[in-house]
Amino acid sequence: MIKKLLIANRGEIAVRIIRAAKELGIKTVAIYSEADKDCLHTILADEKICIGPATASESYLSIPNIISACEATGADAVHPGYGFLAENTYFAEVCEACGITFVGPTKENIQKMGDKIEAKKIAKKAGVPIVPGIEEPIDNPDDPELNKEIKKIGFPLIIKAALGGGGKGMRIVHSFDTFKISLLTAMEESKKAFGSDKVYIEKYIEEPKHVEVQVLADKKGNVVAFPERDCSVQRRHQKLIEESPCPIVDERTRRHLARAAVKLCEEIEYISAGTVEFIMDKKGNFYFMEMNTRIQVEHPVTEMVSLIKKKKGLDLIKEQILIASGEKIGFSTDDISIAGHAIECRINAEDPDKDFIPSPGKIEELILPGGNGVRVDTHIYQGYTIPTFYDSLIAKLIVVGSNRNEAIKKMLRALDEFKITGIKTTIPFHKKVLQTQAFIEGDVSTNFLQKYIYEQV
């Protein structure tokens, strides 16, 4: 069993991991940059060590500094959280070389799923449905064969960066006339953002839902898939609201989604927690998009809504730590059932009235919501100053109700209680979204904000 875990992250996820480790009786080490001297994770951990200046590249992204911190504190394992080095193949490799247990997938898992084009090929091989498209990266934009192939796919189609996401290097093409120029600009943007102009092309599914499946796999070959999450409410490809289960998925589709996710994990011998992302059309047909080889921000949604026979509760971070220590997963996919409906709102320190501009600063007054079926994962406290150097997520508010309508009402009640002064937050924005008729009816696809919210502004 792991004895001392170093958390190579900060903020709410570092707090989350420290809590899980403590409950398992494992000692914890928090790393922090100079800007995070007062961050909650440094207060909760058993030990803390300053690993660099505020800039992420010299602290949270500095592999030598983090490995050195492991050596200095005697940590025998590292949990990378999400973001930062969580999907950095080299970091996983260095940990292995230094005899430090990496709480996450293998470096091969990360590498294979890191390249979006390769990932699609592997998914196809595993029998997972993929979006019709061109499987090879575009080498020659002037290739005449290319024009033939894109006409076969049909319009609209989408150009995506192979090595990245978040909307960069992405272009939707509606007709043949604009194809060439869209391709060239997408390639250039991808080069600038990810260091590679490798792009791929696929059919564009209009008003799709973003549906994903949480998986867990141990070192003994057991794979488990959980009920799907619907993460369609996004702004610029960043998720804002997630829920489980997906309102339009029936039992049959749920089983197919789970089976597809498991097949992919078995194909690459995946280990630890991960998420298989699909794109779903209005008819419920789903296609593989990509796999995230890390624990995700929205993992609490699955924890809140999953009921496991014999075990009852679910703690995905604890499961990760146990898996990393060589333990077997103590349940199967069949043991999992859905207990109600869960929703998560990502609360960011941003001003929704000013195009979501970041709003760092000191939290003057803080009142956290609570009560039956309400969970808050956060690192903020009254008097805490949010630094300017990192992302703006300050809290995750998750609720679970016996059905979707109850969950929405509960979320609105909790959002009403949630008081933060001194900075601007997206709390009012979430209240607006949850009271939109379209959201209540479940008419939510990835263009939800443009369709229903921005029009009203």
Partner 1 sequence: MVSLEELKKYIDFLSTTDIEELEVVSPEGEKIMLKRSEVLSDVLSLKQKKDTQTQTKIESVKPEQQVEEKKEFVISSPMVGKFLLSTSKDHPPFIVVGAQVKQGQKIAIIETMRIFRDVISPKNGVVKKILVEDGQFVEYSQPLVVLELNEE
| Position 61 contacts partner 1 (CB under 8 A) | no
| Position 184 contacts partner 1 (CB under 8 A) | no
Question: Residues 9, 28, 42, 65: which binds partner 1 (CB under 8 A)?
Answer: 65
Alpha helices in 372-457 (DSSP H): 404-417, 427-434, 437-441, 448
Q: Based on CB atoms, which residue is closest to partner 1, 74 or 127?
A: 74
Question: Residues 11, 52, 245, 300: which binds partner 1 (CB under 8 A)?
Answer: 52
Q: How far is the CB of 390 from partner 1 (least distance, A)?
A: 17
Question: Among this protein's residues, is 294 annotated catalytic?
Answer: yes
| Position 264 contacts partner 1 (CB under 8 A) | no
| Position 71 contacts partner 1 (CB under 8 A) | yes
Q: Based on CB atoms, which residue is closest to partner 1, 78 or 408?
A: 78
CB count within 10 Å of CB 42 equals: 20
Q: Based on CB atoms, which residue is closest to partner 1, 84 or 204?
A: 84
Are 233 and 444 a contacting pair, CB within 8 Å? Answer: yes
Q: Based on CB atoms, which residue is closest to partner 1, 52 or 245?
A: 52
| Position 257 contacts partner 1 (CB under 8 A) | no
In whole angstroms, what is the distance from residue 218 CA to residue 203 CA?
A: 35
Q: How far is the CB of 51 from partner 1 (least distance, A)?
A: 5
Q: Which two tokens stand for residue 402?
A: 């016996």
Q: Based on CB atoms, which residue is closest to partner 1, 32 or 331?
A: 32
Q: How far is CA 411 from CA 114, 296, 318, 404, 425, in A?
A: 35, 21, 26, 10, 16
- Beta strand 350-351 pairing with 357-358: antiparallel
| Position 49 contacts partner 1 (CB under 8 A) | yes
In whole angstroms, what is the distance from residue 299 CA to residue 272 CA?
A: 13
Among 16, 171, 294, 375, the active-site one is: 294
| Position 38 contacts partner 1 (CB under 8 A) | no
| Position 67 contacts partner 1 (CB under 8 A) | yes
Contacts of 319 (CB under 8 A, 6+ apart): 216, 273, 329
- What helix, strand, coil percent values describe the chain, rounded to 5? 35, 25, 35
| Position 99 contacts partner 1 (CB under 8 A) | no
Q: How far is the CB of 52 from partner 1 (least distance, A)?
A: 5
| Position 64 contacts partner 1 (CB under 8 A) | yes
How is residue 294 annotated by DSSP? Answer: S
Quote the Cα angle for 245-109-251, to 5°.
20
| Position 435 contacts partner 1 (CB under 8 A) | no
Question: Residues 24, 50, 248, 438: which binds partner 1 (CB under 8 A)?
Answer: 50
Tell me which residue of 433, 437, 426 sits closest to 453, measured CA to CA.
433
The residue ranges that bind partner 1 (CB under 8 A) are 33-34, 49-53, 59, 63-65, 67-69, 71-73, 94, 98
* Residues classed as catalytic: 294
